[in-house]
Chain A
Amino acid sequence: MKVSRRFLLSFDWVWFLALLGLAGTGLLAIWSTTVGTSLESYLGRQVVYLCVALVAFLILLYFDYHLYSDYIILAYISGVALLTLVLVIGRTVHNNKSWINLGGRAFQPSELVKIVVIVALAKYFSESDSEDLDLRELITGGLIVLVPMILVILQGDLGTAVTFVPIYAALSVIAGLRRKHILVFLLAGALVIPAGWMMLKDYQKNRIQTVFDPSNDARHVGYQTIQSKIAVGSGRFLGKGFRQGSQGQLGFLPARHTDFVFASWAEERGFAGSVAVLGLFILVALRLLRAAREAKDKVGTLICAGVLSLYWFHVTINVGMALGLLPIAGIPLPFVTAGGSSLISSFAGMGICMNIRMRRYIN
């Protein structure tokens, strides 16, 4: 395969630099909140993960994306097998048995499986030749999502499991959803949500309840929400400065380098810094949307739409949680949160979408 000059010219530098900006934001925030503490090793590891993620990004960029969509069935089967393996030999971290040991490091296969599921579902829906999906296609597509999702639920990682829902919803909408099917979905939702609520574990229910009343149970779940809001709010316009955020530095803010990394950033960089990062997130979302619109074929469009929905869902839930708008869920902030699985899978998703964008004119 030949990399033409035209292909290289079509590389979207703005998009790529936005991604690097977000990753850089993550490194700064992790540096500020972990160096000099017992969490110090996070920074070095994050740099290594970023390198790995960039390599993965470039590799995924290099081959034609049809290669991935054509052989996705293999990746899908491997992914499901991996998730099953995790259930058997996995490690439990914070109530979740979703981690496996990879060269001495905990790795979360579910993060990568999400990308596989997007490609698999996009490939399946793209083969539909009508303007919208019939019931059989809708159900088959649902099963493609549901199998890994159930495995993730069995791992106890409800937050990650929920992220499969926007993938399925977005791709169904783009591929075409009939009105009566929408009604069926709404009805099913109305039935499943209360049943699901009853299946939730107490700590999960508690997290949801305290969003509406954070002062209730102030020492535990609500405490985290309150401390996060204090961190964000006390940053005011320009922030307290590098390593000056008392909420993050003194440990009032929980998971200050992972789930609540946005609050750490907002505390030290203020409204200005927070809005800048929010701007980068929106910029990337718009780039993904443009890639979806301008993709050469339906499978390209669907993959970009799937990555966009997953990405934006993460941003919404994570930042919404940090700002006290949504329940606390262990959902990482793409590119920013400390952790290899999330960073690598985020860059992988972007690599495929950039790939689709760059090959929009190539026949």
Chain B
Amino acid sequence: MNLQADSSKQLIQQRLNLFYVPIIAVGALLAVRLWQLQILSGAEYALLAEKNRIRTIQVVAPRGTITDRNGIPLVENRPSFNILLYRESVTNTDETAAFVTARLGISQEDFSAILSRSKALPVYHPIVIKEDVGIDDISVVEAHKQEHPELQVDREPRRLYRYGQVGAHVVGYVSEVSGDELAKGTFPGARVGSLVGKFGVERTYNDKLTGDDGSRVVLVDSLGREVGLLEEVDSVIGDNLQLTLDLELQTTAQSLLEGKVGAIVAMDPINGEILALASSPSFDPNNFSTRISPEAWNQLVNDPDRPLQNRAIQNAYPPGSIFKVIMAEAGLDEGLVDDNTRVFCRGSAFFYNREFHCSAKQGHGSVGIEDAIARSCNIFFYELGRRLGISRIAEHAQALGLGTKTGIDLPGERSGLMPSPEWKQRTRGVKWYVGETISVSIGQGAVTTTPIQMLRAIACIASGGRLTTPHVLLRAEGVKDESQFRTEQSALIDPEAMSTIRAGMWQSVNNWGTGRSAAIPGLDICGKTGTVQVIGAERKKELDGNLPALEDHSWFVGFASRDTPEIAVAAFIEHGGKGGITAAPLAREVFRVYFARKQSPVLITKAAPAGSGGRP
């Protein structure tokens, strides 16, 4: 070897030493990086890996079922399917939007609206983009699982209101919880998209009816497809409720109101159990069990007859002549009248220099208190009102529950109004005129009551002074809990007064009084009619007298039977005309069905749903 080759070789060796730099440097760098990722941040990345692969799916619990008092199901659940969008699995928003609009028939605007509404939700939270879908939509989603793993079909139990409009105001409806309600915490445990009770029993007993949601913890692959089940917590159905309603009576009441605007309520006067509560016009709560379409909602809200209003508890009307029952109680109790008191009615009379008329132009002649109730003589009660004065009238009316909420377990109850001089001074800043007392004496003027209130007051008199809390819940999950529904023994009413009033009401129905069209031979029905002037008689003549909006309101309240009261009924028809003509026959029909079934329960129950079907 020569020298030159030697030194060249040495040079090359030196240059080769440079290779140690990248080998050691890169080796060390990669090792440190591995240490950093796997040891220092290992726990953190392990958590991220878990989050990648684990998806928790909420399983909505079915709400409890609702039955009538005989166990006939009124509200149940049916399976339904929704299409969910898992936003975290969306790879291309435009593609998803195009697919959804083209294949699932969701408009571009709706889809954008749904997306922007859900912006506040965490991205792993799936959102419902179409609900209660049919087999067509399910097939589309299932067939495109590979291309669109972000879309999934999900089961959700949905409310089924078996009898539609019948009892809708009692059972109520469910719909999607609003942002406001979420913010206020109205429904504890509700999440965005939850269906909650908004009305009726669904609202009042929402907490009981709501079950415990379950969950499924599943393993998903990178496309969001389920590849395994890690954990499953079954959902628990909510409490099943048994209502006090009697389906047959409820159906009767609802059909009696067909084409009318008003309410019929039937109640057990002893314990306050509501046997039927119908309001008309009604609505079909099944329309709400999906997130209701805006058009359908607007139609319901803008309907001039306001079908969503429960007229039995949410509307207060002047009681008209049925208020005379309250007057009689006050007068008898205060000792201002007794069975021997007689007033001569000649069709009209002057009080405080003003002429007041009776319903009978020619007058009732000499009337005692029973007669005055039976024939609804105004003059007798004008005189009684003059003697009592407004304060004592108000005191007795309030003791019978007028002007305050009854506490029925349905939402939205109104209190009505029992006017007094203090009330007028406070709200209007004007003194009470004694002439107003005369108007109030026959249930006109400022006094207003809800049908349920009036029914409760009459039931109190019927039952010997039991002021009940009307209620629709009989048992929750098989357990009867009466403690929440108070029944007070009213000390104000003495037994003698009550028997006098009952006698007057009996005569009204059974002895050619104003309530005779409520009579059923063989039954001791007691009742009182009411006809509420919407507008003064002269003024009515000036305007077109045939306008339905100017017709009188029609009332009837009653109970049966006289000596063993077991059912009290209130019927009220807006602009229905005379109480004895319009409302009383409706109440009679309710009594008839109730007592007919009592005699032959099987026959009637079978006949009711079958209608006029063939006979053997």
Contact = CB atoms under 8 A, between A and B. Distances in A.
Interface of A: 131, 170, 173-174, 176, 219, 227, 229-237, 246-247, 250-252, 266, 270-271, 274-275, 278, 281-282, 285-286, 289, 292-293, 298, 301, 305, 308-309, 312, 315-316, 319-320, 323-325
Contacts of A270: 38
B34 A231 contact: no
Contacts of B113: none
Contacts of B23: 282, 285-286, 289, 312
A325 B33 contact: yes
25 contacts: A174-B12, A229-B37, A229-B45, A230-B48, A231-B49, A232-B37, A234-B46, A235-B38, A246-B52, A247-B49, A250-B220, A250-B222, A252-B222, A274-B38, A278-B27, A281-B27, A285-B23, A286-B23, A289-B16, A292-B19, A293-B13, A301-B12, A301-B16, A312-B23, A323-B37
A298 B12 CA distance: 9
Nearest to B25: A316
B114 interface: no
A288 B262 CA distance: 99
Interface string B405-416: 000000000000
Given A174-B16, A250-B219, A230 B49 contact: yes
B108 interface: no
Interface string B1-19: 0000001100111011011
Interface in B96-131: none
Nearest to A170: B19
B35 interface: yes
Interface of B: 7-8, 11-13, 15-16, 18-20, 22-23, 26-27, 29-31, 33-35, 37-39, 41-46, 48-50, 52-53, 91, 219-223, 227
Contact of B49 (A170, A234, A323): A234
A327 to B, nearest CB: 15
Nearest to B35: A271
A251 to B, nearest CB: 4
A292 B46 contact: no
A252 B225 CA distance: 12
A316 B46 CA distance: 25
A313 to B, nearest CB: 9
A285 B39 CA distance: 26
A271 B221 contact: no
Contact of B34 (A252, A271, A281, A286): A271
Contacts, number: 126
Contacts of B91: 219
A296 B452 CA distance: 113
B198 to A, nearest CB: 39
A183 B38 CA distance: 41
Given A173-B18, A233-B44, A251-B221, 4 more contacts: A229-B37, A233-B41, A246-B50, A312-B22
A282 B19 CA distance: 12
A281 to B, nearest CB: 8
Contacts of A308: 19
B34 A232 contact: yes
Nearest to B47: A234
Given A229-B45, A250-B221, A289-B16, A275 B11 contact: no
A305 B16 contact: yes
A3 to B, nearest CB: 27
B20 A236 contact: no
A289 B33 contact: no
Q: Which 10 A/B pairs are nearest by Cβ-Cβ distance?
A: A233-B45, A236-B42, A234-B49, A251-B222, A271-B38, A233-B37, A250-B221, A234-B46, A234-B45, A252-B222
Contact of B27 (A231, A234, A282): A282
A233 B38 contact: yes
Contacts of B223: 251
Contacts of B8: 131, 298
A3 B487 CA distance: 115
Contacts of A292: 16, 19
Contacts of A246: 49-50, 52-53, 219
Given A232-B37, A250-B227, A315 B26 contact: yes
A233 B53 CA distance: 15
Contact of A323 (B12, B30, B50): B30
Contacts of A285: 23, 27
Nearest to B11: A131
A324 B33 CA distance: 9
Given A234-B45, A235-B38, A247 B16 contact: no
Contacts of B37: 229, 232-233, 323-324
A275 B31 contact: yes
